[in-house]
Amino acid sequence: MQPTTLFYILIAIIIINFIKDKILDTLNTKHFDDKIPDKLTDVYDEKEYKKSQNYKKTNSKFSDLTAIFSIILTLSFFFIDGFKHVDIFARSYTDNPILVALIFFGVIMLGSDILTTPFSYYKTFVIEEKFGFNKSTKKTFWVDKLKGGFMSILLGGGILSLIIWFYQIAGENFWMYAWALVAVFSLFMNMFYAKLIVPLFNKQTPLEDGELKTAIEKYAEKVGFTLNNIYVIDGSKRSTKANAYFSGFGSQKRITLFDTLINDLETNEIVAVLAHEVGHYKRKHIIFNLFSSILLTGLTLFILSLFINSSILSEALNVSILSFHIGLIAFGILYSPISEITGLIMNYVSRVFEYQADNYAKETFAAKPLITSLKKLSKNSLSNLTPHSAYVFMYYSHPTLLERINNLEK
Ligand SMILES: [Zn+2]
């Protein structure tokens, strides 16, 4: 194959992906004003429903705008040989392949961050603010950005350096070492994320004694679930939107409740949400997700190892010196149709798991408080109650509210 052919294949993949997103968004937008299903008419009153429609439309326009901006930028970068220029820039400082790669990705990340920050700023302080969701101060916004940046430099840079080092010493077989590294790192992060990373951004406090804790303990005992770690996180520092999640396993397993969730829901509704989370654990979803993502990483790294030595990847991007980082960019785009498909499968599995966790909560606790809690959470985040089924199929990690309620009432 000619390098130019590969170049145009890369461009085609980017454009097709953009068109696919656009079609799905348009389908979804067409259903914004659908009649609300009978079972969900009590989620919003007239005024709130109007507000939710307005929110959907505002977000949809905004994401149209960002998508167009991003594709114009990406394509321009390809056509002006952006990768080549950044590669030359990085090589003007050093010949060390690891340092060249770090400077290369550093420049690209920094550039893209500078260009996209105005959008995330607008999203937080104009859109979310207008609809009453935003609680973040400007200081929190910038401090988050800074901390996030340091984290990516430290973790991303560290992992990238190690992988290139493996490539230097093991050649094509680097993928096995890289896989082991990523697997150990994922396991470690899954175990200690709540202890090491979350405190950088949020305050977590053990749930106080009281009615809620007693109710939770009573439930945990009933289902034979040892739960020593129930934490409340100050989600209200950034947004009024509520959430709860499960993390870790073994001795490190913990349930984290957003303070906003505790404010919005009644005690038995919170226990129902928690029962759903326990369901994820009991049905082994946490372990399944972790291992399937590790397996998938192995597969991706293996396929990468088949391509990384071929100079056509670099030549397609008009870079004369064959290097790991340029190969990674070209491969990343070539691989994206496959990752679309694996993503689709993961979303499907995730939706099946959500039903299983809901069923677990229904069997071991009750369906009704879970239904009312889901309705309240949908209302408080101005959720779209009438998404298009194709959109749900492609992007939703959870079944729609209506589907979940139908399942719970079965
Ligand atoms: Zn769930």
Residue 196 alpha carbon to ligand 1 centre in Å: 23
173-222 pLDDT, tens digit each: 999 999 999 999 999 998 898 899 999 999 999 999 999 999 999 999 99
Q: Which of 252, 219, 258 is nearest to 240 (CA)?
A: 258
Residue 259 alpha carbon to ligand 1 centre in Å: 18
Rounded distance between C-alpha atoms, residue 212 and residue 214, angstroms: 5
| 358 noted as active-site residue | yes
Per the rule left: phi > 0, alpha: psi between -120 and 50, beta: everything else, 268 is alpha
Residue 123 alpha carbon to ligand 1 centre in Å: 26
Residue 373 alpha carbon to ligand 1 centre in Å: 13
| 45 noted as active-site residue | no
The arithmetic mean of pLDDT across residues 44-70, rounded, is: 94
Task: Tell me the pLDDT of the chain averaged across its residues.
Answer: 94
Long-range contacts of 53-57 (CB under 8 A, 24+ apart): 54/131, 55/131, 55/382, 56/32, 56/382, 56/384, 57/29, 57/32
Q: Are 118 and 181 in contact (CB under 8 A)?
A: no
Residue type, 232: V
Residue 213's pLDDT is 93
224-279 pLDDT, tens digit each: 988 778 999 999 999 999 999 888 877 788 889 999 999 999 999 999 999 999 99
128, 269, 354, 358: which one is catalytic? Answer: 358
Residues that place a CB less than 5 A from ion ligand 1: 354, 357
Residue 364 alpha carbon to ligand 1 centre in Å: 15
209-229 pLDDT, tens digit each: 999 999 999 999 999 988 778
Residue 277's pLDDT is 92
Residue 201 alpha carbon to ligand 1 centre in Å: 23
Vertex 394 angle, CA 283 and 238, to 5°: 75
Rounded distance between C-alpha atoms, residue 121 and residue 312, angstroms: 39
Q: Which of 307, 317, 311 is nearest to 86 (CA)?
A: 317
Residue 391's pLDDT is 96
Residue 350 alpha carbon to ligand 1 centre in Å: 8
128, 277, 315, 354: which one is catalytic? Answer: 277
Report how far apart, in Å, the C-alpha atoms of 394 and of each of 2, 52, 119, 295, 399 are: 33, 22, 24, 22, 11
Residue 214's pLDDT is 93
pLDDT of 398 above 90: yes
Residue 285 alpha carbon to ligand 1 centre in Å: 10
Tokens linked to 313 = 């990847």
Stretch (H or E) spanning 254: strand 254-258
pLDDT of 360 above 90: yes
